[in-house]
Amino acid sequence: MVVFAFIICVLASLALTPLVKKFAVAIGAVDKPNYRKVHQRIMPRMGGLAIFISFLIGMVVLRPSAPYDLPLMNPAIIIGSFIIILTGVFDDRFELSAKVKLAGQIAAALVVVVYGDVRVDFFNLPFGGTIEFNSFLSIPLTIIWIIAITNAINLIDGLDGLAAGVSTIALFTISFMAFLKGDVYVMSIALIVAASTIGFLKYNFHPAKIFMGDTGALFLGFIISVVSLLGFKNITVVSLIIPIIILGVPISDTIFAIIRRKLNKQPISAPDKSHLHHCLLRTGYTHKQTVLIIYMIAMMFGLAAIIFSMATIWGAIIMMAVITLAIELFVESIGLISNDYKPLLNFVRSGTKKNL
Segment among 72-76, 165-169, 334-338 with least mean pLDDT: 334-338
Residue 144 resides in a domain: yes
Q: Between the CA of residue 207 and those of 17, 37, 43, what are the distances in Å? A: 15, 14, 11
Residue 151 resides in a domain: yes
Residue 105 resides in a domain: yes
- In angstroms, rounded to a whole number, what is the distance separating the alpha carbons of residues 299 and 301? 5
- In angstroms, rounded to a whole number, what is the distance separating the alpha carbons of residues 283 and 173? 29
Could you tell me which residues are annotated as the binding site for Mg(2+)? 154, 214
Residue 87 resides in a domain: yes
User: Where residue 131 falls among pLDDT bands split at 50, 70, 90?
Assistant: low
Are 96 and 88 within 8 A, CB to CB? no
pLDDT tens by residue, 229-251? 887 765 545 556 777 888 888 88
Residue 306 resides in a domain: no
Region 206-222: mean pLDDT is 94
Residue 18 resides in a domain: yes
Region 203-225: mean pLDDT is 94
Number of domains comprising the chain: 1
- In angstroms, rounded to a whole number, what is the distance separating the alpha carbons of residues 285 and 281? 5
The pLDDT assigned to 27 comes to: 94
Instruction: Say yes or no to pLDDT of 122 above 70.
Output: no
* HEC-encoded secondary structure of 205-271: CCCCCCCCHHHHHHHHHHHHHHHHHHHHCCCEHHHHCHHHHHCHHHHHHHHHHHHHHHHCCCCCCCC
User: Where residue 352 falls among pLDDT bands split at 50, 70, 90?
Assistant: low
Residue 117 resides in a domain: yes
* Domain coverage including residue 158: 2-272
For the beta carbon of residue 189, count every other beta carbon within 10 angstroms.
Answer: 29
CA 164 to chain centre: 9
pLDDT tens by residue, 64-74? 988 888 889 99
For the beta carbon of residue 150, count every other beta carbon within 10 angstroms.
Answer: 29
pTM, 2 dp:
0.89
Segment among 181-190, 291-300, 312-321 with least mean pLDDT: 312-321
> What backbone phi and psi angles, to 5 degrees, belong to 132?
-110, 145
For residue 236, give the amino acid letter. Answer: T
Could you tell me which residues are annotated as the binding site? 154, 214
The pLDDT assigned to 229 comes to: 85
- Cβ-in-10-Å burial (0-12, 13-18, 19+) of 345 comes to middle
User: Where residue 257 falls among pLDDT bands split at 50, 70, 90?
Assistant: confident
Strand-pairing partners, residue 43, are: 31
For the beta carbon of residue 199, count every other beta carbon within 10 angstroms.
Answer: 21
Higher pLDDT, 207 or 349: 207
